[in-house]
Structure 1
Amino acid sequence: MSTVALPIDSFGVSHKGCVRDHNEDNYLIEPQTGLWVVADGMGGHEAGEVASASIVDHLATIGIASSAPDLRARFEDRLSRANAEIRGISRSRAITIGSTFAALLAMDGRFACLWAGDSRIYLVRNGSIFQVSKDHTEVQELLDRGMISAEEARTWPRRNVITHAVGVSDELEIDFQQGELMPGDVFVLGTDGLTAHVSDAEIEAAARSATPRAACQALLDTVLARGGTDNVTIVLVKIGGNGAPHPDRSAAEGLAR
């Protein structure tokens, strides 16, 4: 039976922040499966928590896949089931609920990153940080069209409006990137409560911590010290090996849709 080709160490943390009454985020760490997930529910009145919990509960049933393609197929099947369940809850309660998610799959020396919404996945490789995911938000679409600048995007009134999420429509829309795992790679998965307060450079610096636990705690401490205006969830995955530099491999190289 196939397993993850490189040793992996991981840790996750979730906090309601300094403003919100409860935590609508969820996360999942399943190293035996080769799966790590963060999810940020929306809908209010504790409904968002139901949506994010549906995602992690369904994904937790994947089990041990026979191959990387099998793992990907199982993931998409469970996510579709979660989407249907959340749609059913929305109809029964006559409200719209949903959840963003960001997921890392790792098996046989390969990885796949999948996401919907504005939860993010970063890859730190050879001392450089690369945002693997691309936000599904109105403000990102405006940036892509050249209608606003990056500076304007930081204060855009509708910058938190997302365009894709699990459970908001019968048609599930997700994006993905895939590539080869390298010794020393560090993946950081975070909900928008992280990136609202912490820069990419600060995430990269934290990723250099001795352990994933220390890195997650450092990032959480920074978010809370800066006001913690939203729920925050962080999962950090460190790929083992000697971590020696790969001069011909930038962080972005080897990624494919």
Structure 2
Amino acid sequence: MRMPPDPSALAERTVVATAEALRIEAGFVTHPGIVREENEDHCLVAPDLGVFAVADGMGGHEDGAFASATVVEALSSIGAAVSAADLMARLEDRMLRANAALWSAGQAQGAIVGSTAAVLLVFGRDFACLWSGDSRIYRIREGAIVQLTRDHTEGRDLFERGLLSAAEMATWPRRHVITKAVGVRDLPEMDLEQGVLNPGDVFVICSDGLTGHASDDDILLAAGTSAPQWACDALLALTLERGAADNVTVVIVRCGLPAAFPRRASAVTVAMPGPAAGGSA
């Protein structure tokens, strides 16, 4: 694995997991949007495993939905890790499996069958963000929002090389063409950002169906101080109001104040495609 060194809603439920005295709360929503008839996004919310993810499939609905489901199903099999290093190793193994399945499917069809992946791992006070493609992870800390991921797109690449200005990148016709994704090469290519959690940190994981309509300030306003599920629903409503030209998926994870209750087990929650699905975890 190539990695830098360093139409019915799901039943709503609430699951809270503690990780080394931090309370972890999460919400999610996924929706096909207004323009698209089908949803090629999948997401995973598994606070008991410390794994949260969004995958946005490529290659037309049938292949796109298959691709994102393959990524999420692989991640949902990670199991309980015994350390941050173990969790990372399990993640790498599952991404290799998902990539192999999608690469094989693409080779057999003579087509690209791939998916973006944006994954947040939490173990104790440690976190890691791994991603491939243009699904994003933001962190909100002390009232400020930062995009922890970097879009793997032709527009971003040319901008960073100084070949496009910010204004030119905003209108360049190939700005959204993805340069990395799970399944498009024989080995997955994912970037990594990691750090230490602070109580009060909020992470927003989303597909580009959200960021195509909502600004960083919009995300901060909705998610900065609100309950995760309320924020997810609010961001979906905003996106639908603004046209929702693509599938929209949002996962929000809040790291609360020290918890004084025992860790609860919870089932892995996978949001499957449909006209609307959302829940809290």
Same fold (TM over 0.5): yes
Q: 2:224 aligns with which of 196, 200, 208?
A: 208
Instruction: Pick the aligned partner of 1:29 from 20, 31, 45.
Output: 45
Which residue identity does 1:103 align to in structure 2?
A: V
In structure 2, what is the Cα distance between the partners aligned to 1:97 and 1:172?
A: 13
CA distance in 1, matches of 2:257, 2:168: 41
1:97 aligned partner: 113
> Does 2:175 correspond to 1:159?
yes
Structure 2: stretches of 5+ with no match in the other structure:
1-17, 259-281
Q: Is the counterpart of residue 135 in structure 1 residue 151 in structure 2?
A: yes
TM-aligned CA distance change 1:129 to 1:3, over 3 Å? closer
Letter in 2 for 1:142: L
One-letter amino acid of the structure 1 residue matched with residue 148 of structure 2: V
Q: Which of 163, 174, 193 is residue 209 of structure 2 equivalent to?
A: 193
What is the match of residue 251 of structure 1? Answer: none
3-state SS of 1:172 partner:
coil
How far the C-alpha of 1:171 sits from its partner, in A, is 2.1
In 2: Cα distance, 1:69 partner to 1:5 partner: 19
Give the conservation status (yes or no) of the 8 Å contact 2:32–2:247: yes
The answer as to whether partners of 1:129 and 1:204 remain within 8 angstroms in 2 is yes
Q: Which runs of 4+ in 1 moved over 4 A?
A: 2-5
Give, in whole Å, the separation in 2 of the partners of 1:210 and 1:131. Answer: 19
Deviation at 1:154, TM superposition (A): 1.4
Q: Which moved more, 1:148-157 or 1:20-29?
A: 148-157
1:207-256 CA distances to partner (integer Å, 9 max, x unpaired)? 134310110011000111111000010000000017xxxxxxxxxxxxxx
Deviation at 1:64, TM superposition (A): 0.4
The aligned amino acid for 1:138 is E
> Matched residues in 1 for 2:166 and 2:28: separation?
30
Q: Alignment RMSD, CA only?
A: 1.3
Q: For residue 58 of structure 1, what is the amino acid of its counterpart? A: A
Structure ranking higher on relative contact order (CA contacts 8 Å, 6+ apart): 2
- Write the distance in 1 (CA, Å) between the matches of 2:231 and 2:97: 33
Q: What is the match of residue 254 of structure 1?
A: none
Match of 2:78 among 40, 43, 62: 62
Which residue is equivalent to 1:20?
Answer: 36
Q: Which residue of 2 aligns with 1:85?
A: 101
Please say if residues 5 and 107 of structure 1, whose CA atoms lie closer than 8 Å, have aligned partners that are also in contact.
no
Query: Conserved in 2, the CA contact under 8 Å of 1:4 and 1:34?
Result: no
Question: 3-state DSSP class of the match of 1:42?
Answer: coil
CA distance in 1, matches of 2:123, 2:229: 22
Counterparts of 1:228 and 1:14, CA distance in 2: 12
**How far apart are the structure 2 equivalents of 1:200 and 1:113?**
18
Partners of 2:39 and 2:61 within 8 A in 1: no
Task: Choose the corresponding residue for 2:243, options 227, 239, 244.
Answer: 227
Kept in 2, the 8 Å contact 1:4–1:106? The answer is no
Residue aligning to 1:51: 67
Q: Secondary structure at the match of 2:181?
A: coil
Kindly indicate whether residue 113 of structure 2 is the aligned counterpart of residue 109 of structure 1.
Answer: no
Letter in 1 for 2:33: G
d(CA) in 2 for partners of 1:20, 1:140: 25
